[in-house]
Structure 1
Amino acid sequence: MYNPEQPIFETQPDSTVKVSIGVEENPKSWWQTLFFAWQITLVDFTPFIWAGMFVSLAGLPDTVVPVMIKTCFLAMGIGTLIQTTIGNRLPIVQGPSSSVLTAMGGVTATYGFPAMWGAVLVGGALEAVIGFSRVLGRLRKFIPPVVTGSVVATIGFVACKIAAGWIFSSHEPIFLILAAVAFLFALFLKFRGKGLLSQGFVLISVLVIGVVISSIVGIFDWGKVFAEDWFALPTIFPFRNFEGIPSAAGSPVVFTFAAILAGFTGYIGSMFESIGDYAATCAVCDQVYRVKHINKGIFAEGLGCMCSGLLGALPVTSYTQNIGILAATGVASRRVTRVAAVMFLLYGLSPKLAMLLACIPRPIVGAVFLISASMIMFSGIDVVISETRDVRGNLIAGTTIGLGVMMPVFFSTTGAEWAASFHPFLKMFVNNNVFIAVVSGVLLNIVLNMLLKERKATETPAQGA
């Protein structure tokens, strides 16, 4: 019988984190609430990076970036409010999903922008249905940690490739010098800074080098920033008839089965990342991790992704970096997270702020993003080795990561002519890192751990003389 209060673990994991303000508690004053909430938004202030990564993967014009930055902030606010109100009600921030955006980049490049939005909406609806139906516990056996970790590690490799491309996107020495300075400054903040300086190293280093120093040396375009309004209301499907995107003309959304299937592989990776994030959040908040946290959390996440699609934003997922804030501060108040959600909404209502972030020179953003991309990669590897290693696991992880990373490289270089003759769906498959990683990992897990599972040795009764 289904019991939503049933703990996931037989023994509650020990946590060294001391909670100063619990999930159901509130700070003593509104000023403290605002400060803690603002701190959350500074650490989770990364939509401008994910929007740029998606545009690069999808081959879209840079004019898309500022609009998508704005909509991603709106989606973060809405998704976080949904999660903390009707979801699992843990202090979890929802933000752009690297798993889904990587998959959707390939969908957009192959089937166009309208088909991508169709995949976003249907994928979000399917995720909500999965959470509502309570079947996720049964599906977990098809994607164990070795598969999930391999997919995340593959995403990290893709992110590193994007970061490197941004760093060397300009051959002018001044851009490369500032990129190197930003990289070193970010490392200094991360490992020598204290509190907010360390936790907000991405935002602080990008703003100091990308805005202040870039303005001093004359490479920051303030004209574009001044031309934008301070405030603008959001619209549904803002990319309809968007200038510079021929495929966006006409219907704002198209439902294509192949695009939906390819996009949903990203949702699969996102869901299982979130399950791990829920466990970590409960651990640092001194909460028992229960079945209801998974089902309600995934249901709310799916609803958030559907709202993201309507707003023209990237699908959302639980933000792992927010768990670091909870652990560092001991402030687990749900009210604080909700106030942070409102702040994200306010960020999304300002086109001027979005353009400010979009105008930061790409090499500088890439240099700082390289650190985050590397951390994503090794967070996946950490998941892979969290279980007892054996030959089967090593084979699954090695093959999944190898195919996920190198197959698109082959079919975009040596095998490009061959790939040009493929059906559009197959062409997208061989160039979509997340799709390849999820399919390869799931199939290998089924073959090695289910069909060819190791048989337990049985003792043969001794024969009497």
Structure 2
Amino acid sequence: MADTSLGTAEQLRDPDYTPALHKAVPLGIQHVLAMFVSNVTPAIIISGAAGFGFGSDAGAQGFPDMTYLIQMSMLFAGIATLFQTIGLGPVGARLPIVQGTSFAFIPIMIPLVAGKGVEALPALFGGVLIGGLFHAVLGMFIGRIRFALPPLVTGLIVTLIGLTLVKVGIQYSAGGVPAIGKPEYGSLLNWSAALVVIIVTLGLKFFARGMLAVSAVVIGIIAGYIYALMVGMISLDGIATSVGRAAPFALPSPFAYGFEFSMAAVIGFCLMSFVSAIETVGDVSGITKGGAGREATDKEIEGATYADGFGTAISGIFGGLPNTSFSQNVGLIAITGVMSRHVVTIGALFLILCGLVPKVGAIIRTIPIEVLGGGVIVMFGMVVAAGVSMLADVNWNRRNMVIFAIALSIGLGLKLDPKAVQYLPDTIRALMTSGLLPAALIAIVLNLILPEELSAEATEEVSGGMAGHDTKD
């Protein structure tokens, strides 16, 4: 229920209304806390997959790689959010939309950088830049492609994103991918740190209210961090050294790691842009319905898609990862009842400030991988749950079961055993082993070409007799 002390009911539903500053600032910070860990996690995962960041201090042109990527994640999440809240010409919905680094692209990025170090970054950021520009172009006709991505397809894709990433959470909780083969990998000490994060996060989500519930993952990570200090997994001296080496202020550097055109990266990012664009359409609709009680206009949807794309493209120029709207902040608006875009602008300015202070990134970098693993398990588990929730809207007839079964089996199977396509050309192999792209393409194509007549048939043939009932309409 909305807090009426913030303004009248009509004011709270107005995107252009600004509550009193002493109330607007905490509300803006609340938006940042709701997305903060999710926003920086992709940079940490990609750093780990590439083989730098954990235990490394310097990279291309002297940049401390993980710290720099974390810094860019915060900075360009803030800048992209300003595109949405303030706008620039046709760019931006002028709504309280919070942008952040997208999870959806992680399964695409991991095969592109796996074990290649900083040498993989020029091609990665080239893909981010071109994919972002392509994403912006989608804003011109986003309304006309929504038919190709019904809940069956989008729910499958979101579920598969979570399923392909849960392995990362388990590996991090056990000690991190680089630790495989070492005696301490999977030790009780490692798992205890992850469990502290999970228990604290769940406790706050279920039993706390307000700011504590919204920032449950952040507080869980902090609790795990304190526990790691207490049991000697990290030391104050190590933290001081890491933070001391970081500059107090730094501007981003364009093409910090260079630029390279990679067909696999460009195709991967462009194809995933369709999914990200539809996700943003859903978030815009959720904000206008939950905050203002109305449908989103075509202009708002187009502006939000432009902001998604241009925010991603600019991020790629400076060494940042793809941006998208954050769904958890849509729910936060429904909880607070405050539709003000200027409240979110305050949060964006806070993110930009953090992104210009490398010491913030250096602190984040000192988080033990086991502690991060606990948070990742929760976050990626929630991604799977969100996908399942979307699939609940699907009419599970024979046709839809066939589409879901084939797309999921092939997509997840290729992700689990990438050697199955080891003889394919490099570009195609990188796209196929993401798991996500083959599943998405199969689901989209089958949904468009399979006759609707199948939907009138029963599901027993597909389910092997487990359904126990007919699903005829």
- 1:58 CA drift (Å): 4.4
Select the residue among 435, 438, 441 that pairs with 1:439.
Answer: 441
- 1:60 CA drift (Å): 4.7
Tell me the residue number matched to 2:394. 387
Closer, same or farther: CA 426–455 of 1 in aligned 2, 3 Å: closer
Residue 362 of structure 2 aligns with an amino acid whose one-letter code is: M
Are residue 88 (structure 1) and residue 79 (structure 2) matched? Answer: no
Question: Could you tell me whether the CA contact under 8 Å between 1:151 and 1:437 is conserved in 2?
Answer: yes
Cα distance in 1 between the residues matched to 2:417 and 2:106: 22
Q: Deviations over 1:167-212 (max 9, x none)?
A: 11244432221211221111101111111111111111101221x2
Cα distance in 2 between the residues matched to 1:171 and 1:130: 45
Closer, same or farther: CA 258–218 of 1 in aligned 2, 3 Å: closer
Partner SS state of residue 44, structure 1: helix
Q: Deviations over 1:424-450 (max 9, x none)?
A: 0222123112212221211221231xx
Partner SS state of residue 33, structure 1: helix
Tell me the residue number matched to 1:269. 275
Partner SS state of residue 233, structure 1: coil
- 1:456 CA drift (Å): 11
Cα distance in 2 between the residues matched to 1:166 and 1:424: 28
Residue 219 of structure 1 aligns with an amino acid whose one-letter code is: M
Tell me the residue number matched to 1:367. 374
Question: Could you tell me whether the CA contact under 8 Å between 1:58 and 1:106 is conserved in 2?
Answer: no
Residue correspondence of structure 1 range 347-362 to structure 2 within 5 A:
347-362=354-369
Residue correspondence of structure 1 range 11-410 to structure 2 within 5 A:
21-46=12-37, 47-62=39-54, 63=56, 64-86=65-87, 87-109=92-114, 112-131=120-139, 133=140, 135-169=141-175, 170-210=185-225, 212-220=226-234, 221-222=238-239, 223-238=241-256, 240=257, 252-286=258-292, 287-410=294-417
Closer, same or farther: CA 27–253 of 1 in aligned 2, 3 Å: same
Cα distance in 2 between the residues matched to 1:60 and 1:225: 18
Residue 67 of structure 1 aligns with an amino acid whose one-letter code is: Y
Residue 160 of structure 2 aligns with an amino acid whose one-letter code is: T
Question: Could you tell me whether the CA contact under 8 Å between 2:242 and 2:362 is conserved in 1?
Answer: yes
Partner SS state of residue 338, structure 2: coil
Cα distance in 2 between the residues matched to 1:175 and 1:456: 49
Tell me the residue number matched to 1:454. 453
Residue 54 of structure 1 aligns with an amino acid whose one-letter code is: I
Cα distance in 1 between the residues matched to 2:306 and 2:231: 48
Cα distance in 2 between the residues matched to 1:16 and 1:438: 39
Closer, same or farther: CA 383–16 of 1 in aligned 2, 3 Å: farther
Partner SS state of residue 454, structure 1: helix
In structure 2, the gaps of 5 or more residues are: 57-64, 176-184, 457-473
Are residue 430 (structure 1) and residue 432 (structure 2) matched? Answer: yes
Partner SS state of residue 45, structure 1: helix
Residue 192 of structure 1 aligns with an amino acid whose one-letter code is: F
Cα distance in 2 between the residues matched to 1:366 and 1:118: 29
Question: Could you tell me whether the CA contact under 8 Å between 1:154 and 1:434 is conserved in 2?
Answer: yes
- 1:145 CA drift (Å): 1.7
Closer, same or farther: CA 74–441 of 1 in aligned 2, 3 Å: same
Question: Could you tell me whether the CA contact under 8 Å between 2:399 and 2:455 is conserved in 1?
Answer: no
Cα distance in 2 between the residues matched to 1:393 and 1:17: 43
Q: TM-score, normalised by structure 1?
A: 0.85
* Identity among equivalent pairs (%): 27
Q: CA RMSD in A?
A: 2.3
Q: Deviations over 1:255-303 (max 9, x none)?
A: 2333211222221221111111111111111133222222111111111
Residue 214 of structure 2 aligns with an amino acid whose one-letter code is: Q
Question: Could you tell me whether the CA contact under 8 Å between 1:73 and 1:348 is conserved in 2?
Answer: yes
Closer, same or farther: CA 441–60 of 1 in aligned 2, 3 Å: farther
Closer, same or farther: CA 227–175 of 1 in aligned 2, 3 Å: same
Question: Could you tell me whether the CA contact under 8 Å between 2:281 and 2:301 is conserved in 1?
Answer: yes
Residue 390 of structure 1 aligns with an amino acid whose one-letter code is: N
Higher relative contact order (CA 8 A, sep 6+): 1
Closer, same or farther: CA 167–112 of 1 in aligned 2, 3 Å: same
Residue 200 of structure 1 aligns with an amino acid whose one-letter code is: S
Q: Deviations over 1:234-270 (max 9, x none)?
A: 21123x2xxxxxxxxxxx1112333211222221221
Closer, same or farther: CA 150–319 of 1 in aligned 2, 3 Å: same
Cα distance in 2 between the residues matched to 1:17 and 1:273: 29
Cα distance in 1 between the residues matched to 2:27 and 2:310: 26
Closer, same or farther: CA 28–302 of 1 in aligned 2, 3 Å: closer
- 1:342 CA drift (Å): 0.5
Residue 40 of structure 2 aligns with an amino acid whose one-letter code is: F
Partner SS state of residue 324, structure 1: helix
Cα distance in 2 between the residues matched to 1:382 and 1:395: 19
Question: Could you tell me whether the CA contact under 8 Å between 1:107 and 1:262 is conserved in 2?
Answer: no
**Worse overlay, 120-129 or 140-149:** 140-149
- 1:227 CA drift (Å): 2.3
In structure 1, the gaps of 5 or more residues are: 1-14, 241-251, 458-465
